[in-house]
Structure 1
Amino acid sequence: MQDSIASGLRCGIEAPPSKIKVLPGFFIAALLFFALTSASVNVFAQQKSALIEGTVVDPRGAGIAGARVSLGPTTEAAAGETRTDAEGKFRFSKIHEGDYQLIAEAAGFTQSTKTNISVRSDKSEAVTITLQVAAISDSVVVTATRTQTPLSEFGGTVSVINDGDLSRGAYTNVSESLRLVPGLAVVQTGGRGGLTSIFIRGGESDYNKVLIDGVPVNQAGGAFDFFALTPENLERIEVVRGPQSALFGSDAMAGAIQLITRRGYSSTPKFDLSAEGGSFDFHRETAVLSGARRWFDYSGSFGFQSTDGRFNNNDYINRSASLNLGFKLSPSADLRVTSRWNDSRQGVPGPTATLFADPDQRQKHRDIALSGALDFRTGSRWSHNARFVYSEFGTNSFDPAAQDLTQPGTPPLPPFGFGFDSAFAFNDHEKRIGAHFQSTAAIGRSNLFVAGVDVEHESAVFSNSDIFSQSRVSPDRNNLGIFLQDQLAWRDLLFITAGVRAERNSSTVPSDLRAVLAQLGSFVPDGDVGFGWTANPRIALALVARRHREESRVGLSTIRASFGTGIKEPTLTEAFSPSPFFLGNPNLNPERAISYEIGLSQEFYSRRARVDFTYFDNRFRDIITFESTTSFGPITLPTGRLTHFINTDRSSARGVELTATALAGGVFRSRLKLTGSYTFLRSRLDQAADVLVFAPPTFEGVFRPNPEIGLPLLRRPRHSGYFEVGWIAHRFDAAITGVLVGSRRDFDAVRFAKFDANGKPIFNDGYAKLDASGSYRFNRYLSAFARIENLLNEDYQEVLGFPAYRLNFTAGLRLRLGGDRGL
């Protein structure tokens, strides 16, 4: 609930240095990681290598360029992946002898699997894989199970946005592409650079686990701002809806979103350059260099974009870089290093629909995600992954002087509103360091067992200065997760994924909080604090009710169902704040989710059309809320401890996701694609603590039942959807995309109110946004692209008080040098 209020005011950071307390366990994990690396190199360096090569073709026998081919023993692809060249050919060299399977996929085609490929040392194996035309491309994903799993074999709901989708949409930000994922509500505060939150299936915006190449990048407590994520050098984005704490622990209450960086495949170095410009003095430049040579592959990028924005002090600058380096240590061991970095700064004009733009409030932001992963095999059916993860971000928000924001000519203030701001400075600097290890064993021909452990240490430094007070706090916390998972298959008809994760959350009370509690006469917790151990299960089933039949009007029918629970740890402020106005509670329980879903996927006309239907039910418990006395002081718990934060509220979200996709036939065969989706969401606050009000005529503080009980949750529309008409040809592609969002409850950022002067809940009007994008390829080296947003020039606000961009456009050129043809 806090995000709904906090996102009305944009804050931001130049982070002071902080010291991280690294536990002995982390030293042990690091030593284990390097020991495994050394062992794998020494043990496997002597093994002989083999070769698998082949061709991916369409039904007519023509090679498919750029198809993704994954290689692995049964389901776990420890051996790697590659892309086909212009003739559809691929090659895996220096692999260890054993039994493998190949999975090939490409946009506009079904996924195809070749199993029981027996590879022997010093011999090559030639394979031909045929892909059939389909309305929806199958994909191999890793976020759903932490192993490489075909979507058709997972009973949950997963959406994949591949690099082709990102390129054809000419997106400048990752969040724009996520608007076309069913069940997601993307909410941006104003234009580029504004706070961007994502609500999955009615959950809060901090209920989503966000990963970049396996690195958790959420703030401690789950919050994540998508405003700075750019799409350059991305292979794909995977979105798993529903609780994923059985795999990823805290923060995965409503879903998980993972960005996967592109690998280098071309034997000839490939250099991609792009430059574009458009409305509001927007310009963006990107550069990507990638390739592969013998035992080494690489892909790196740099991006820059800036805009003056729509209003005064609405400028935005973003610099980004990414890197993906792969090292083939032996036929059975690979080392991969990935990194993604962002540095941005922008003005924060405030709610310009009501007030004059703040002329000097600013924000600076910087973040980095770094990973080193070792994949190795100790047998033909047993593989392992050891990963070091590190993420860091800092935000510096500041307003050097207070101004009167009710200048003449601006809209009148609402009743009880105010038009001034205040000087402040706020710094938030957080770090996360950890080690992950998992082991995957293929048991028989249809059973894949996974076990692993994740160890992470979170630390932060918060400093604040305003007209009321100055404060600085530096809490830290440890998380330990142990998980088990089993993937079963029966006759290619029934696929079951079942797992559980035990999570331990622990810390000690910081000295500054201990001092404040003692000063206030409160009970002071001693020893370890945190919510201790908790367990989260998940089970997902996919049942093939009707097999695919060529030339049949009614094709493959799949019934899907899943159940799981999720948790989210308290924020470091909620747990450890020493401020007497926001006093933390070190013994808060995690927020919890209980969820189930059931769905049906139905294909038609030889896979040229498909309909997906999903019903979901989410129940959120132990939601953390802010409570105070009538004098705004902390409340006293039964244990004698003082705090402002307790677990009290409950909410629920139930709904339906319906998606339909079709490929046209006849003269438009395989070129015209139609896609549409509709999401119905019924969310409500089921239980909440009483609220403090100051009612006339005495205006004395009294507690009354929370008037939000029974109302929809903030910024989650009941009705939403999208449609897309796409045309894909050899030289030219184009798309018309419409996003429809219904009315939803919101928050007045000027009056800090959720109800109007008459006591009625505040609703933000719905809107319809129509965009167009397209590209033209002059030759293999040069292409032009363009994107027009808000074609109807709609005047709307995703966040009440913060106008979105009206009609605007971008256009540019893309130059490709080098590289193998087709890659």
Structure 2
Amino acid sequence: MPSQTRISLLLSAALVLPGAAFAQDDVTTLQEVILSGGLTPVAEAGYGRAHTVIDAAEIAARGFATVQDALRAVPGLSLSSSGKSLTALRMRGSETSHVLVLVDGVKLAAGGDEYTLSGLETANIERIEVLRGPQSVYFGSNASAGVVNIITRKGEEGLHYGGAVEAGNGWGASAFVSQRGAQGGLFLGLAARDDRGFDVSDDAGGDKDGIDRRTLTFSGDYALSEDLTVGFAVRRSDETYGFDATGGYWDPVLNMWIDPADEAGYLVDSNDTSDRKETSGLVFAEYAMLEGRLTHRLSWQQSKLDQRFNNPMNSNSIGHSEALKYRASFGLDGAVDGADHVISLMIDRQRDTNTLQPGLDRESTSYAAEYRGRFDALSVQGGLRHDDNSVFPSANTWTAALSYDLNESLRLHVSAGKGVVNPAYAELYGGFGQVGNLGLNPEVNRGYDLGIEASFLDGRAVADLTYFNERLQDEITWTGVPGPDGSNYFNQTGRSTREGVELSGRFEATETLALGLSYTYLDARNPDASRELRRPRHELGLTAGLQTFGGRGNLGLDLRYVAGNWDTQYYGAYATAKLPDYWLANVSASYDVTDTLRLTGRVNNLFDKDYREVWGYATEGRTAWLGLEAKW
């Protein structure tokens, strides 16, 4: 195996320990990792952008029950939760709407707005790809800071089935069945979780605000001939969650929201609930010509988010997005799958609708081109995109990246690009007491990063250090007091700056002990040099995994430290204040009772730490879970 591929595989398996018989079925060993980081799939070993891959084995080993839990361990990401049902994801100091979340390449932000993480489960996920830096050339608007692409399981050769159950502060269960042969296969996955949660308002005797969620995943592909393959993927989630209402009221005379006098009056224990239904899917056909040198892919995809509340004070909404995409790729020196030089062209037609603003549909037609080349130790990637928008001015974006193997143990990676984010429906048209601004400009992000990846001690230790620098023009900001034009949204004048350092590492200390490290330093500023909120200055993660009982058992420890985080207190003097720094500890364990049956356990917030990610919102205390997994 090339040394670069070995390095990439080690980085993407941050806590996976070798030797456990059960775990070996979950990971593809000694095979090259392929990313969805371009118009066509990209080999991780030559990918020039900073990225992280969390595979199914790592998810299981570290006890991640939800995607948001898994993402907290990734360099460059910061997550802030207002209870279990509302988690904002930011990348390199961006806004939530600047990070595009996908499942199997289909965006979840239906209706053109941002996607908020809720109870999105990790069951039946093959891996999570986190691609940092402007990605609008490949993925369009809302990918100006990066992309999180969740890849669901497709199944292995033959017939396989299994499931898992666990109980603790509620219960969870999942099951799957797959059949795969030489021409293709089918995968069906089911997941259910009733997490009782906790009282977000932290009132004495208050009700718990939990999540009850059900998800179905169904996918398949089939080779109709040697050159033509068709396939589909469908995902449906139904979720009901509880939350607590905020105090205060809307004053029609002053035309503004009046905040509560103190923290105790800010979050009021209530029995408010919301039903959230997510549907996404795609169908595709791929056709190869000229012995594989020219390939075509045609796909249609859609996503829908139906959000309804039991309290009429909240606004129900249905967002819908659909896209028709065509891509042609040509291998200049051979079949596309193995060529060193590939040129790709894409046409992308998208449409968004939202019931909050009926009749105000948004459409765009985009054209993109990419060149990808490999020259011995050097890999390069570059792309251009032009968006014709029905509502906004046309936009042009670009990207460039290179990866260079300095020697067998050192790799340099560099990337730069420009991304755009179109204003959301609420920002343009307002709603629920808010006044929109039809004069908003799209946000434009320009950024670059420079990193070096190194291996030591015959590959037992691997580290990656990346410096990033991004400049956001026309950042859209909400204000509680309407501005001179009467709206609650405006473009900031000047550039918002984000720069920092991302560090990740892994050390196989012994044959049974693996240690991991992740660290992010971030300085995110508004154009007036004030600090951006809910973007911690320091985030540190330390992991340890110990193999026990001759390889049948595993113990895992996760430590996380967060410091330098600021947020606004929406009560009293409406002050911006620093949140307390904190440490969190999570532990996980597993034991293979047989080759097909595994006992699992995990404890989150081991020391029952009281901390805050958002002012006014409590966080969950210590919880313990015990489970069983089986597969055949």
CA displacement at 1:813 relative to structure 2: 0.7
Aligned to 2:108: 217
> Are 2:415 and 1:531 equivalent residues in the alignment?
no
Aligned to 1:681: 522
> Are 2:357 and 1:496 equivalent residues in the alignment?
no
Q: Which runs of 5+ in 2 are unaligned?
A: 2-11, 14-20, 200-206, 248-262, 334-338
Q: Does the aligned pair in 2 maintain the 1:531–1:588 contact within 8 Å?
A: no
Among 530, 546, 559, the residue aligned to 1:711 = 530
Aligned to 2:610: 795
Aligned in 2, Cα 1:487/1:808: closer, same or farther, shift over 3 Å? same
CA displacement at 1:285 relative to structure 2: 1.1
CA displacement at 1:773 relative to structure 2: 0.8
Aligned to 1:397: 309
SS at match of 2:428: helix
> Are 2:219 and 1:324 equivalent residues in the alignment?
yes
State how far apart, in whole Å, the 2-side matches of 1:285 and 1:259 are. 20
> Are 2:225 and 1:300 equivalent residues in the alignment?
no
Aligned to 2:543: 724
Alignment of 1:784-823 (within 5 A): 784-817=599-632
> Are 2:561 and 1:740 equivalent residues in the alignment?
yes
Alignment of 1:512-661 (within 5 A): 530-546=391-407, 548=408, 556-577=409-430, 582-585=435-438, 587-626=439-478, 632=482, 635=485, 645-649=489-493, 650-661=495-506
Aligned to 2:162: 272
Q: Return the letter of the residue paired with 1:656.
A: V
SS at match of 2:474: strand
State how far apart, in whole Å, the 1-side matches of 2:488 and 2:478 are. 5
Matched length: 583
Question: 1:279-301 CA distances to partner (integer Å, 9 max, x unpaired)?
Answer: 3xx10111111121453411111
State how far apart, in whole Å, the 2-side matches of 1:581 and 1:189 are. 21
State how far apart, in whole Å, the 2-side matches of 1:452 and 1:715 are. 37
Q: Return the letter of the residue paired with 1:276.
A: E
State how far apart, in whole Å, the 2-side matches of 1:793 and 1:185 are. 21
Alignment of 1:274-293 (within 5 A): 274-279=164-169, 282-293=170-181
Aligned to 1:363: 274
State how far apart, in whole Å, the 1-side matches of 2:298 and 2:546 are. 43
Among 454, 459, 474, the residue aligned to 2:348 = 454
CA displacement at 1:494 relative to structure 2: 1.0
Q: Return the letter of the residue paired with 1:673.
A: A
Alignment of 1:176-187 (within 5 A): 176-187=69-80
CA displacement at 1:217 relative to structure 2: 1.5
Among 380, 383, 390, the residue aligned to 2:295 = 383
SS at match of 1:399: coil
State how far apart, in whole Å, the 2-side matches of 1:315 and 1:148 are. 38
- Please tell me whether Structure 1 or Structure 2 has the larger radius of gyration of its CA atoms: 1
Q: Return the letter of the residue paired with 1:746.
A: D
State how far apart, in whole Å, the 2-side matches of 1:633 and 1:273 are. 54
Aligned in 2, Cα 1:367/1:199: closer, same or farther, shift over 3 Å? same
Question: 1:175-232 CA distances to partner (integer Å, 9 max, x unpaired)?
Answer: 1111111010122222x3x201111001111110111111122144441111131111
SS at match of 1:152: helix
State how far apart, in whole Å, the 2-side matches of 1:602 and 1:647 are. 41
Q: Return the letter of the residue paired with 2:346.
A: G
Aligned to 2:597: 782
Among 354, 360, 382, the residue aligned to 2:264 = 354
Aligned in 2, Cα 1:291/1:360: closer, same or farther, shift over 3 Å? same
Q: Which runs of 5+ in 1 are unaligned?
A: 1-55, 57-66, 69-85, 91-104, 113-138, 401-423, 463-471, 507-529, 549-555, 636-641, 687-708, 756-760, 818-823
Aligned in 2, Cα 1:345/1:535: closer, same or farther, shift over 3 Å? same
CA displacement at 1:344 relative to structure 2: 0.8
Q: Does the aligned pair in 2 maintain the 1:439–1:451 contact within 8 Å?
A: yes
Q: Does the aligned pair in 2 maintain the 1:233–1:299 contact within 8 Å?
A: no
Question: 1:468-500 CA distances to partner (integer Å, 9 max, x unpaired)?
Answer: xxxx6442100211110001111x211110111
State how far apart, in whole Å, the 1-side matches of 2:309 and 2:55 are. 34
State how far apart, in whole Å, the 2-side matches of 1:600 and 1:730 are. 33
Among 663, 686, 704, the residue aligned to 2:508 = 663
CA displacement at 1:350 relative to structure 2: 4.4
Aligned to 1:762: 577
Q: Return the letter of the residue paired with 1:386.
A: L
Same amino acid, percent of matched pairs: 24
Among 344, 366, 382, the residue aligned to 1:481 = 366
Aligned to 2:81: 188
Q: Does the aligned pair in 1 maintain the 2:110–2:303 contact within 8 Å?
A: no
CA displacement at 1:781 relative to structure 2: 2.3
Q: Does the aligned pair in 2 maintain the 1:581–1:633 contact within 8 Å?
A: no
Q: Return the letter of the residue paired with 2:80.
A: V
Aligned to 2:52: 159
Alignment of 1:6-155 (within 5 A): 106=28, 111=31, 139-142=33-36, 144-155=37-48
Instruction: Please tell me the root mean square deviation across aligned C-alpha atoms, in Å.
Output: 2.7
SS at match of 2:97: coil
CA displacement at 1:568 relative to structure 2: 0.3
State how far apart, in whole Å, the 2-side matches of 1:473 and 1:455 are. 20
Q: Does the aligned pair in 1 maintain the 2:315–2:432 contact within 8 Å?
A: no
Aligned in 2, Cα 1:219/1:623: closer, same or farther, shift over 3 Å? farther
SS at match of 1:177: helix
SS at match of 1:532: coil
Aligned in 2, Cα 1:164/1:384: closer, same or farther, shift over 3 Å? same
Q: Does the aligned pair in 2 maintain the 1:791–1:807 contact within 8 Å?
A: yes
CA displacement at 1:797 relative to structure 2: 1.4
Q: Does the aligned pair in 1 maintain the 2:111–2:304 contact within 8 Å?
A: no
SS at match of 1:348: strand
Q: Does the aligned pair in 2 maintain the 1:206–1:222 contact within 8 Å?
A: yes
Question: 1:750-806 CA distances to partner (integer Å, 9 max, x unpaired)?
Answer: 4582x2xxxxx3111121111011211111221110111111211111222111111
Among 222, 226, 233, the residue aligned to 1:338 = 233
State how far apart, in whole Å, the 1-side matches of 2:477 and 2:557 are. 42
Q: Does the aligned pair in 2 maintain the 1:545–1:558 contact within 8 Å?
A: yes
CA displacement at 1:589 relative to structure 2: 2.1
Q: Return the letter of the residue paired with 1:305.
A: R
State how far apart, in whole Å, the 1-side matches of 2:552 and 2:434 are. 62
Question: 1:661-688 CA distances to partner (integer Å, 9 max, x unpaired)?
Answer: 1112xxx32x3211101111111111xx
CA displacement at 1:399 relative to structure 2: 2.6
Q: Return the letter of the residue paired with 2:596.
A: Y
Q: Normalising to structure 1: TM-score of the pair?
A: 0.67
State how far apart, in whole Å, the 2-side matches of 1:201 and 1:627 are. 23
CA displacement at 1:592 relative to structure 2: 0.7
Aligned to 1:241: 132
CA displacement at 1:627 relative to structure 2: 6.9
Q: Return the letter of the residue paired with 1:482.
A: Y
Aligned in 2, Cα 1:751/1:285: closer, same or farther, shift over 3 Å? farther
CA displacement at 1:590 relative to structure 2: 0.9
CA displacement at 1:626 relative to structure 2: 4.8
